[in-house]
Structure 1
Amino acid sequence: MSQEKELPPTAQHLRQLARKGRFPTAPEFRTGVQFVTALLAVAVLAPPAIHKMAAVSQHLIDRASDREPLLFDHGFFAPLSAAAVFFLTLGMIAACILVLTAVMETGVFGFFAENVRLDFQRINPVSGLKNIFGLPALKRIVFNIAEAVLISFATAYVLLSNLRSLLDAPSCGISCVGGLAVYLLGMLLALVAVIYLVFGALDLKISRVVFRHENKMSHSDVKRERKDTDGSPEIKAAMADARYELMSSAPMRRERVQEQRQEQQDASIVLLSDKEAVALRYQTGGDSAPVLIWRGPPSRVASLLATAPTTKVARNPEVVDHLASTPIGSEIPPALYPAVSRAMEEAGLTL
């Protein structure tokens, strides 16, 4: 019995789909970004290039009118090179925008060889019918109709808002007509660019939601993927290294634990506070100061006293707080000698 696919696709599953050439596509987003980019590139780079090309043409006309031999001098090559730089720059910008748009559209950066392999499923007539009558095709039809309607409204708005200027243009002269045409065309292209960007962003969002919905996973798929991941050679090798380090350090840890237990058995007194407890070791009549040998929560004092039944217990929150920064195995600071001495005397010990 097949399980219902109700879980969202994992990141690993999405990467596997991308290797097979399956990822969300948003043609409206691609068209909008490319249209706006081309419009901006032409608006910024075209005027100087046109000026340079006009200079080349003027140079040729001047040479021809003066009946001088055509010389390919600086006056010819400088404008021509500027025009070549314009087209080269435009091509590089277009290539970068194509790559960036593809990455933003699909969410995948890279090239997979599986994407160019022969796949007969892609030329299957049944798959073709599904693509024609599927949700992506319906989405494109709706978007195209909406874009056509909005562009028509934008065109009507531009013309009607400048109707007086259009009626007065014939009497103004050719220069006035040219300037008005450029203004109206620029205004219309700007509105079209906004329409394309809005529909492109909407298409990108819808495409990703639909793609994730169409590639949902069942609980069995997630378990199988996790099993495959845990069983990969890289993860197995990492787990083996971790086990080796754990086994190699186990004897050292056991030896350290035994030493700590032996030290705890030698504890002379345990001082308590509400949050912490410390154990001190002191040899009566010795020259050294008391040594801090244990620190832990008050709940573990009972287990410590089980291994050292002769250890005294006293409550002294002030000393415990002052010993919070003292390392284990270090002598207590000289400033705490009086307080520790009083605590030990109250517990029946002599410092």
Structure 2
Amino acid sequence: MTRLQLDLQFFSGEKTEKATPQKRQESRKKGQVAKSQEVPAAFILFGSALVLYFLGGWYLERVLMFFQFIYQDVFLTTLTVQNVPELMNELFVDLAIVVAPIFVIAIVFGIGGNFVQFGFLFAPEAVLAKLERIDPISGAKRIFSLRALVELFKSIAKVVVISTAAGVILWTNKEQVMGLSHLPVRQSAAVIGQLTFELFLTVSLILVVLAIADYMYQKYEFEKQIRMSKQDLKDEFKKMEGDPLIKSKIKEKQRQMSLNRMIQDLPRADVLITNPTHFAVALEYNDAKMDAPTVIAMGMDFQALKLREKAKEYNVTIVENKPLARALYAQTDIGDPVPEELFGAVAEILAYVYRINGKMKEERRTP
């Protein structure tokens, strides 16, 4: 891609870049994830098929008991104001017992179908009321969009495929279906249950295949939707790293605070070793408390100049030693002891400083 094409993409705001982890996290907080509604539907239908397979005999008995209760206890009983509520309650309890296993499996497998797609997701922002959702213009755009046409085609294809599969199953077992009227109730119920299980299993497997294909399509659409332009990447980087102007002001404030702290500690220094103007390192040595001389202040350029000015004001001895000042600045930090390889040079300077200071004290005592 040429430089001109890159510049045109940048200024046009074309979304050509993959979404960053930060962008994906923000989309997830809004409930925007790659998901297919076909996956939980396939899971629910497959779970229902498993319920019929493992609880088929129990279902047969419960259904027969249910109809027996209706035809014997309800229709053949004289209904009164007193027994109608009791009969209705018993009827609803039996119906709830029959429906409960499939209902529970539908909830579990429905949640599982969403969990395998995007894991655990809690996004309150996704359910907040937004005015654009009731905007008729936006609604019309969604209805007549390419995505809506794809969804329509997908629904038609799903109905055709499922109807064809159901027709094939019924046609293959047409003799059993046609002979249901000649079978006892228990046998006909068993045949219907077997056909229902085959139908559920076949349709659920078809839906699984369709769900995988639909999930891949939804993931592709989602990736395309959250793409970012080069300007978006630049803005996000600026947001994460901070505005350069603000960062420079913060650093300047930090440097000023650091300089103020060093100036406060400078009167304790025994010597200020300079470069003479580029570097300045202040050393303190107390043989009762320290094993080696310690750096209590250091600076470069402007800070070095300020330390020199304050050292003169506080009567701290200033010694010019270019290689030692550079070495101390490069190898130590504030609060660090002097490295062993620099002990000799620092000891000579401290001895020189103590000798000068001693002479100055003697001269002051001499009348």
TM range (shorter): 0.5 to 0.7
Does structure 1 residue 230 correspond to structure 2 residue 310? no
Q: Are the structure 2 counterparts of residues 87 and 145 from structure 1 closer, same or farther at C-alpha, using a change threshold of 3 Å? A: closer
Pick one of 17, 20, 23 that aligns with 1:7. Answer: 17
TM-score by length of 2: 0.51
| Distance apart, 1:216 and its partner CA | 0.7
Letter in 1 for 2:164: F
Distance 1:59 1:122 in 2: 49
Q: Are the structure 2 counterparts of residues 147 and 262 from structure 1 closer, same or farther at C-alpha, using a change threshold of 3 Å? A: same
Residue of structure 1 equivalent to 2:27: 17
| Distance apart, 1:194 and its partner CA | 1.0
Letter in 2 for 1:153: T
Does structure 1 residue 196 correspond to structure 2 residue 276? no
TM-score by length of 1: 0.53
Residue pair 1:46, 1:86 contacting (<8 A) in 2 also: no
Does structure 1 residue 109 correspond to structure 2 residue 121? yes
Q: Are the structure 2 counterparts of residues 97 and 176 from structure 1 closer, same or farther at C-alpha, using a change threshold of 3 Å? A: closer
Q: Are the structure 2 counterparts of residues 52 and 160 from structure 1 closer, same or farther at C-alpha, using a change threshold of 3 Å? A: closer
Residue pair 2:48, 2:200 contacting (<8 A) in 1 also: no
Letter in 2 for 1:157: V
Corresponding pairs, count = 246
Q: How does 1:309-324 map to 2 (within 5 A)?
A: none
Q: What SS class does the counterpart of residue 15 from structure 2 fall into?
A: coil
Per-residue CA deviations over 1:292-330 (Å, capped at 9, x if unaligned) read: xxxxxxxxxxxxxxxxxxxxxxxxxxxxxxxxxxxxxxx
Does structure 1 residue 35 correspond to structure 2 residue 20? no
What RMSD over aligned residues (CA atoms) do the two structures have, in Å?
Answer: 4.7
| Distance apart, 1:171 and its partner CA | 5.7
Q: Are the structure 2 counterparts of residues 58 and 141 from structure 1 closer, same or farther at C-alpha, using a change threshold of 3 Å? A: closer
Residue pair 1:32, 1:197 contacting (<8 A) in 2 also: yes
- The runs of 5 or more residues in structure 1 that have no matched partner are 66-79, 266-351
Q: What SS class does the counterpart of residue 23 from structure 1 fall into?
A: coil
Residue pair 1:25, 1:106 contacting (<8 A) in 2 also: yes
| Distance apart, 1:181 and its partner CA | 2.9
| Distance apart, 1:262 and its partner CA | 5.4
Residue of structure 2 equivalent to 1:259: 339
Q: Are the structure 2 counterparts of residues 152 and 125 from structure 1 closer, same or farther at C-alpha, using a change threshold of 3 Å? A: same
Distance 2:185 2:97 in 1: 32
Residue of structure 2 equivalent to 1:314: none
Residue pair 2:13, 2:229 contacting (<8 A) in 1 also: yes
Q: Are the structure 2 counterparts of residues 257 and 193 from structure 1 closer, same or farther at C-alpha, using a change threshold of 3 Å? A: same
| Distance apart, 1:213 and its partner CA | 0.3
Using the aligned pairs only, state the percent identity: 22
Q: Are the structure 2 counterparts of residues 30 and 148 from structure 1 closer, same or farther at C-alpha, using a change threshold of 3 Å? A: same
Distance 2:150 2:133 in 1: 20
Q: What SS class does the counterpart of residue 6 from structure 1 fall into?
A: strand
| Distance apart, 1:44 and its partner CA | 3.7
Per-residue CA deviations over 1:46-97 (Å, capped at 9, x if unaligned) read: 75366467669989979xx9xxxxxxxxxxxxxx999867766655444333
- The runs of 5 or more residues in structure 2 that have no matched partner are 1-10, 77-91, 259-293, 297-330, 346-367
Per-residue CA deviations over 1:23-66 (Å, capped at 9, x if unaligned) read: 3342222322222223333544575366467669989979xx9x
Residue of structure 1 equivalent to 2:163: 152
Q: Are the structure 2 counterparts of residues 118 and 176 from structure 1 closer, same or farther at C-alpha, using a change threshold of 3 Å? A: closer
Distance 1:174 1:90 in 2: 23
Residue pair 2:36, 2:218 contacting (<8 A) in 1 also: yes
Residue pair 1:52, 1:83 contacting (<8 A) in 2 also: no
Q: Are the structure 2 counterparts of residues 177 and 57 from structure 1 closer, same or farther at C-alpha, using a change threshold of 3 Å? A: closer
Q: What SS class does the counterpart of residue 110 from structure 1 fall into?
A: coil
